[in-house]
């Protein structure tokens, strides 16, 4: 039904009328409006001021739900910038301790540690050496901040193998699933012994959660938590990370990481990992896979994490450096999207900065 302006004025003399159609007999504006008149339901009312928007905001970020991934390189005396991840460092042993203490002081919820060894071999021996770079880092960080922050370690062989794959290889060059599980079991014990609160199983081998859970339990580490990178896609977003850990990989990880075109398979991976004893599950990368985050959060009853990976970080930093994006706003917008999609925990290289913005209360989009 359309309403003419004169008729409307007769009904409600105070009704505000757009100037453009004041003299027209029939207003195209009014004719186009649903119901034929001005709206009585106005969602814009709830967006009218910063205080009003804050009152009705549905998704809120907290530093406690952020986890900071950190790199520590064996033999470094001073921290070193990672060129493709401006602002992110390869830490020395000392700078790692200081940064971990700072993260705890900022109220960040957790740290995820990655080690870069000086020597690599076919089976990734440094990954299970009690004096290996990652084991030492775990012990250091636990001593420094372990009461205040959850200390997690990456459980995967790729930083430690000379071929750069996440597992050990068969004679034909393919990744040998079951031989790799034995190495993961040894790694789990080394990391648990070093004191890690949470083991982040990121290798995408079949059965890895079950093997690690049973070996931990048999050795008495019944309280060590397993965070399964249950859903890890073979993504191009890991490029800068491979620079950060000085990866030697040639080729790709498509025989073990998931095909980006598949969603159902992700749900199967999560169900299997939970059945094998995963305490928490992760989806990775985050932003290109928010549909998966949502489906997993809706279907499963364990904490869901998402990893905003190195390429997601680098894309924003590169655009911001060119002045093409408002850096702080885009950081907070991406983190909010990941949270809104259903992730309770977010791994992000921006954790210190996001925590500072949230703690200061100055960030107002």
Cβ of residue 58: shortest distance to ligand PBG, in angstroms?
28
Nearer to ligand PBG, 109 or 167 (CB): 167
CB 89 within 8 A of CB 95: yes
Cβ of residue 30: shortest distance to ligand PBG, in angstroms?
54
Q: Return the residues of window 191-230 that contact ligand PBG according to CB under 6 A.
A: 202
Cβ of residue 55: shortest distance to ligand PBG, in angstroms?
35
Cβ of residue 318: shortest distance to ligand PBG, in angstroms?
15
- Catalytic site residue from 10, 254, 284, 339: 284
Among the residue ranges 35-43, 71-79, 150-158, 296-304, the one whose residues contact ligand PBG (CB under 6 A): 150-158
- Catalytic site residue from 10, 232, 254, 339: 232
- Answer yes or no whether residue 238 interacts with ligand PBG by CB under 6 A: yes
Q: What mask of x and - would describe binding to ligand PBG in positions 247 to 286, judged by CB under 6 A?
A: ------x---------------------------------
Among the residue ranges 10-18, 71-79, 124-132, 152-160, the one whose residues contact ligand PBG (CB under 6 A): 152-160
Q: Which of 84, 191, 310, 348 binds ligand PBG (CB under 6 A)?
A: 310
Nearest CA to 365 out of 46, 9, 17, 53 is that of 53
> Does the active-site annotation cover 284?
yes
Distances (CA, A) of 140 to 77, 114, 135, 245: 16, 13, 9, 20
> Does the active-site annotation cover 232?
yes
Nearer to ligand PBG, 54 or 255 (CB): 255
Q: Which of 111, 126, 156, 281 binds ligand PBG (CB under 6 A)?
A: 156
Q: Which of 154, 269, 273, 276 binds ligand PBG (CB under 6 A)?
A: 154
How many CA atoms does the CB half-sphere of 43 hold within 13 Å? 0
- Answer yes or no whether residue 309 interacts with ligand PBG by CB under 6 A: yes
Nearer to ligand PBG, 97 or 253 (CB): 253
Distance CA 124, CA 162 (A): 7
- Answer yes or no whether residue 74 interacts with ligand PBG by CB under 6 A: no
Reading phi first (left if > 0) and then psi (alpha if -120 to 50, else beta), residue 164 is in left
Per DSSP, the three-state class of 364 is coil
First-to-last C-alpha distance (Å) of the chain: 40
Q: Give me 168's structure tokens.
A: 């050990």
Nearer to ligand PBG, 202 or 208 (CB): 202
Distances (CA, A) of 324 to 101, 260, 319, 327: 34, 28, 5, 9
Cα 74 → chain centroid:
25
Long-range pairs, 7-10, Cβ under 8 A, ≥24: 8/37
Q: By Cβ distance, which residue is nearest to ligand PBG?
A: 241
Nearest CA to 297 out of 331, 340, 264, 257 is that of 340
Dihedral sign of CA atoms 267, 273, 277, 279 in order: negative
Q: Which of 74, 158, 276, 317 binds ligand PBG (CB under 6 A)?
A: 158
Cβ of residue 348: shortest distance to ligand PBG, in angstroms?
9
Which residue has 């790199």 as its token pair? 71
CB 134 within 8 A of CB 72: yes
How many residues line the site for ligand PBG (CB under 6 A)?
10
Active site residues: 232, 284
Q: Which residues are near ligand PBG by CB under 6 A?
A: 154, 156, 158, 166, 202, 238, 241, 253, 309-310
């Amino acid at each position: 039904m359309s309403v003419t302006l004169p008729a409307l004025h007769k009904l409600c003399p105070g009704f505000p009328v757009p100037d453009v159609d004041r003299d027209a007999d029939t207003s195209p504006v009014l004719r186009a409006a649903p119901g034929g008149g001005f709206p009585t339901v106005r969602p814009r009312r709830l967006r009218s001021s910063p205080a009003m928007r804050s009152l009705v905001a549905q998704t809120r970020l907290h530093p406690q739900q952020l986890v900071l991934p950190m790199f520590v390189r064996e033999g470094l005396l001073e921290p070193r910038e990672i060129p493709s991840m401006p602002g992110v460092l390869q830490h020395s042993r000392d700078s790692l301790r200081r940064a971990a203490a700072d993260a705890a002081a900022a109220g960040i919820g957790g740290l995820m540690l990655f080690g870069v060894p000086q020597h690599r071999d076919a089976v990734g021996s440094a990954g299970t050496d009690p004096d290996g770079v990652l084991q030492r880092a775990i012990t250091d960080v636990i001593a420094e901040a372990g009461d205040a922050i959850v200390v997690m370690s990456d459980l995967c062989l790729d930083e430690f193998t000379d071929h750069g794959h996440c597992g050990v290889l068969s004679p034909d060059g393919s990744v040998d699933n079951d031989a790799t599980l034995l190495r993961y079991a040894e790694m789990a014990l080394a990391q648990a012994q070093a004191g890690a609160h949470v083991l982040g199983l990121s290798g995408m081998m079949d059965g890895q959660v079950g093997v690690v859970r049973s070996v931990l339990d048999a050795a008495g580490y019944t309280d060590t938590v397993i965070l399964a990178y249950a859903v890890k896609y073979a993504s191009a977003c890991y490029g800068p990370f491979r620079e950060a850990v000085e990866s030697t990989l040639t080729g790709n990880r498509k025989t073990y990481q998931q095909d980006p075109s598949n969603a159902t398979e992700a749900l199967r991976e999560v169900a299997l990992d939970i059945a094998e004893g995963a305490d928490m599950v992760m989806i990775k990368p985050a932003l290109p896979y928010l549909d998966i985050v949502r489906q997993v959060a809706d279907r499963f009853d364990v904490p869901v994490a998402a990893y905003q990976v190195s390429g997601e970080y680098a894309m924003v930093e590169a655009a911001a450096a060119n002045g093409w994006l408002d850096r702080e706003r885009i950081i907070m917008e991406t983190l909010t999207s990941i949270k809104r999609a259903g992730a309770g925990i977010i791994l992000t290289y921006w954790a210190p900065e996001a925590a500072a913005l949230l703690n200061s209360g100055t960030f107002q989009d």
